[in-house]
Amino acid sequence: MAETILITGGAGFVGRHVAKSLLEDGHRVRAFDSLIEQVHPARARPVELDPEVELVVGDIRDGDALGRALTGVDAVIHLAAEVGVGQSMYAVDRYTSVNDLGTAVLFQKLIDKPARRVVVASSMSVYGEGLYRTADGVLMEDVVRGPRNPDGSWDPLDGEGRAMTPVPTPETKRPALKSVYAINKFVQERLTLTLTAQYGMEGAALRLWNIYGPGQALSNPYTGVLAIFASRIMHGQAPMVFEDGRQRRDFVHVSDVVSAFRLALERPEAVGETFNIGSGEDRSVEDVARLQAASMGRGDIEPNITKQARAGDIRHNIPDLTKARTLLGYEPKQDFTRGLEELAAWVARQESKDRVAEARRELELRGLVA
């Protein structure tokens, strides 16, 4: 059955892709977005946003505008958020206001105008460090590490000073909130699951890993790491990689993320649950930087391994997708090499400003890089 679906943050990277998929299935889509300059430099409707999407420009904290946008809505995909671990550590009031107060305002309005289901975008950052196994085979889920070990290494150590091995992290792992952004995202998902259950709605939360694909904001130095790397490479600059570059991440294509949102919106098994959403494959950040440079025809550009730590960053975190596969029927399909080639082809047609050095100075001025 066709529904009217509101996507908060719907003019953004993920929102545009989700909207396109929903339209193709005959749904009516309304996007609510503030078009902030950091993401939308022109402060205008993005050309990539399907013309059939009804765009309502407004701040997620504006209850009156949000109330009007919710009129006649059957379901909500809540993507509106300030995004970026590093920036969240100094723009504390802005991040907390938009992300947490904004979500509270959304639900204040949903109390009077309830939707069938609300799906919120959470983040892998809520876990802090992922799950680890010691050399003795013991699983450790409350791993805390300093910025660097006494011997100069970066991996978390067990009680006997031995490096531990990262293993896939399930949704049952206790949160370890290491950044303002992580705190915000955990609050967003708990508000969603608590208030939907209380007021007769259905709720679900997706903990997203590192999303990439065509349409990312290349001039935003706090966006996804592959977009940041792409912007550097297209300007002939080395991708900046913190620590030693061997930290491992899962990179998931936006088309797989769209699939996850569709499943979370439709499957009854999603109600009241949180799900890890990734690709199921992990790689070192250094290797990814090299692969991306090669995909853009700049294999001569070597990553800049800074040997510095950034406040709020974690070492390793890779997802266990068992729950999403079992309950949602989620199955990532995009091959990483083909995904990088697709991204490179799109980047070649774009213009951007490289603002990475500017962002790093902001962090250094506040003592957030060491």
Q: Give catalytic residues, as residue numbers.
A: 181
The DSSP call for residue 125 is G
Amino acid at 242: F
User: 249, 359 in Cβ contact below 8 A?
Assistant: no
N-terminal to C-terminal alpha carbon distance within the chain: 54
Give the Cβ contact number of residue 171 at 10 Å. Answer: 16
**Residues 310, 101: Cα–Cα separation, whole Å:** 26
The DSSP call for residue 348 is T
φ/ψ of 319, rounded to 5, equals -90, 145
φ/ψ of 277, rounded to 5, equals -130, 110
Q: Which residues of 28-44 are buried (b: 16+ CB within 10 A; e: fewer)?
A: bbbbbbbbbebbbeeee
The DSSP call for residue 239 is P
